[in-house]
Amino acid sequence: MSSAIYDAATRAATGDLHGATFLGGTDYESTKQRSMWIAAYTSLLVWQVLLLALYLFAGTRSRTDEIAAITAAGGQVNPKESLWADKCRRAVRAARTNFILVLSAVVVTALGFGPTAATVTLTWVAFALGALWLVAEFVADSHWLRLVMSVLHFPLIAVVWGLAFRSRID
């Protein structure tokens, strides 16, 4: 067995391999990289908690039950029955979008030239903007809200993507 392979395997097994979490290390290369992964993981947790809330408020109504309820009510349906379920659906959609965008920014940055202070800051700003978006979905149901939040959120992630593939000046 080659000495270099043996050393790498030993370092990975003992946890001395820093900065190679995909290869079995137990630590991140920098606190910047760790901070970005925390943003992605937190957005995943927010999305999952909102999914649980959706399942709690949505109940087990099927489409045939809704049609039967509308027919029984004489064509009128009580909008308060599904108010929280609709709010949760919109918030889940916003949380899912936030998670996908933040995760893509983190992965692209990790695979590119690595995180910098700018990419970490922009990722956390995108996370905060996404959190504001899902709170706003609980307050208002407006397509203009979604348009404005998308116009703010998507270019921010595009900037992080651009910084991930910047040309390094050494």
Whole-number percent of the chain with pLDDT over 70:
66
Buried b (16+ CB within 10 A) or exposed e, 74-99: eeeeeeeebeebbbbbbbbbbbbbbb
Between residues 129 and 19, the one the model is more confident about: 129
- Given the candidates 1.20.120, 1.10.260, 2.60.40, 1.10.10, the CATH classification of the domain at 30-164 is 1.20.120
Q: Is the dihedral of CA 129, 157, 52, 147 positive or negative?
A: positive
Residue 51, pLDDT > 70, answer yes
Dist CA 153 CA 3 (whole Å): 49
Q: How confident is the model at residue 166 (pLDDT cuts 50, 70, 90)?
A: confident
pTM: 0.70
Any residues with CB less than 8 A from the CB of 104 and at least 6 apart, and which?
157, 161
Q: What is the per-residue pLDDT for 115?
A: 87
**Phi and psi dihedrals of 27, rounded to 5?**
-135, 160
7-44: pLDDT as tens digits: 555 555 555 545 444 444 455 567 888 889 999 999 99
Are residues 103 and 42 in contact, defined by beta-carbon separation less than 8 angstroms?
no
Task: Enumerate the domain spans of the chain.
Answer: 30-164
Q: What is the per-residue pLDDT for 84?
A: 82
Q: Counting Cβ atoms within 10 Å, is residue 52 exposed (0-12), middle (13-18) or buried (19+)? A: exposed
Please state, rounded to an integer, the average pLDDT across all residues of the chain.
Answer: 79
54-93: pLDDT as tens digits: 888 776 555 666 666 666 666 555 555 578 888 889 999 9
